[in-house]
Amino acid sequence: MLVNSVVIFRETLEALTSVLFPAPCQICDSVLTNASLLPICNGCLASLAPFKGPCCATCGRPFLSEIATDAAVPLCFACRRSTYGFDSARSYGEYNDRMSRAIGLLKYERLTRLGGWFAARLEEKIRAEPELFAADVAVPVPLHPARQRERGYNQAELIARPLARKLKLPLGAYLLVRTKPRPPRLLLSRRERWQTVRGAYEIRKGTRVDNLRVLLIDDVFTTGATLDACARALKQAGAKSVAGITVARVLSRGSAFSGRPAELSKNQTSVGSI
Ligand SMILES: [Zn+2]
Ligand SMILES: [Zn+2]
């Protein structure tokens, strides 16, 4: 009884304290002075900036120089080699330090309201190029069931659910399944990223995607291997088109080519083969 009273007292005190002394910005630790629904200061929100300027017409990779955009349909090196299985992809902004902290809040702290904020940004991106994103269903990139059980939720779905609502699309969170788990190591090389997702996604048994135009949603575009593997699974099952959208994109400035390693390109229809 006494223990219960102590717990209740402590919870009440914490609730009061959080009103009187709100938690600092979850990204930079500065005191929050704005009355926002997000525990992120205005400066940090402003630094989660959208890409501006020319990009690859297919995968959305921003061009760092104007020279690359001379062609009528500007394509990056990877897309000139038809690397990806999706028809098009775009990302909201760069995966920099603050963006990585923000995505971490979504991924590990289940900050649902941030999912809504990102969804609003992605909606703007989609409305700017509606022809790329004509879709019948919105599908979040799934986690492996073991990972989802452990985490309790899928961060891509925290973005996809409010985005589907804004776009008035049905949410097809059940359509794709990840059948191959991600290796436990946190950091993977570019080659490993491609290898670990190859054939890692399937259409859920008993569902159909024939002739559907799919909008795939994920948090980060690193090498494009994940969106590629999902798109190949969807297309093999008859999807008409697949457009991907992610909140952030990793820009590999050191390497001009972030696409599928050459030795993996030979078997372009390898979905489900592992
Ligand atoms: Zn901040
Ligand atoms: Zn490209």
Ligand 2 centroid to Cα of residue 78, in Å, is: 6
* 22 and 86 share one domain: no
Q: What is the pLDDT of residue 64?
A: 77
Phi then psi for 172, rounded to 5 degrees? -105, 55
**What is the distance, to the nearest Å, from the Cα of residue 146 to the centroid of all Cα atoms in its chain?**
19
Ligand closest in space to the Cα of 32: 1
Q: Which residues lie at CB < 5 A from ion ligand 1?
A: 25, 27-28, 41, 44
Q: Decide if 270 is inside a domain.
A: no
Give the whole-angstrom CA distance, residue 158 versus residue 75: 31
Q: Name the pTM for this structure.
A: 0.84
* 38 and 133 share one domain: no
> How does residue 37 score in pLDDT terms, banded at 50, 70 and 90?
confident
Ligand 2 centroid to Cα of residue 63, in Å, is: 10
Q: Decide if 274 is inside a domain.
A: no
* 16 and 67 share one domain: no
Q: What is the pLDDT of residue 193?
A: 87
* 33 and 56 share one domain: no
Q: What is the pLDDT of residue 257?
A: 47
The total domain count for the chain is 2
Q: Decide if 183 is inside a domain.
A: yes
Structural domain including 27 reads 1-45
pLDDT at 243 over 90: yes
Q: Residue 112, SS3? A: helix
Ligand 1 centroid to Cα of residue 218, in Å, is: 24
Ligand closest in space to the Cα of 34: 1
pLDDT at 71 over 90: no
Ligand 1 centroid to Cα of residue 56, in Å, is: 31
* 73 and 33 share one domain: no
**Residues of the chain with pLDDT > 90: what percent?**
69
> How does residue 205 score in pLDDT terms, banded at 50, 70 and 90?
very high
Ligand 1 centroid to Cα of residue 28, in Å, is: 4
Q: Decide if 271 is inside a domain.
A: no
Ligand 2 centroid to Cα of residue 238, in Å, is: 24
* 56 and 33 share one domain: no
pLDDT at 107 over 90: yes
Ligand 2 centroid to Cα of residue 254, in Å, is: 16
* 146 and 37 share one domain: no
Q: Residue 62, SS3? A: strand
Q: Which residues lie at CB < 5 A from ion ligand 2?
A: 56, 58-59, 61, 76, 79
Q: Does 191 or 227 have the greater pLDDT score?
A: 227
* 5 and 136 share one domain: no
Angle of the 155-167 helix axis to the 112-128 helix axis, nearest 10? 50
* 17 and 61 share one domain: no
Ligand 2 centroid to Cα of residue 181, in Å, is: 27
Q: Decide if 172 is inside a domain.
A: yes
Instruction: Tell me the β-bridge partners of 220.
Output: 248
Ligand closest in space to the Cα of 71: 2
CATH of the domain at 196: 3.40.50.2020
* 169 and 121 share one domain: yes
Q: What is the pLDDT of residues 136-192, one digit of tens each?
A: 999 999 999 999 999 999 999 999 999 999 999 999 999 999 999 888 777 788 888
Task: Mention every residue, 6+ apart, whose C-beta is less than 8 A from residue 239.
Answer: 209, 210, 211, 212, 213, 214
Residue whose tokens read 């629904």: 37
Q: Decide if 73 is inside a domain.
A: yes
* 31 and 80 share one domain: no
Q: Residue 202, SS3? A: strand
Q: Decide if 140 is inside a domain.
A: yes
* 98 and 83 share one domain: yes
Q: Decide if 272 is inside a domain.
A: no
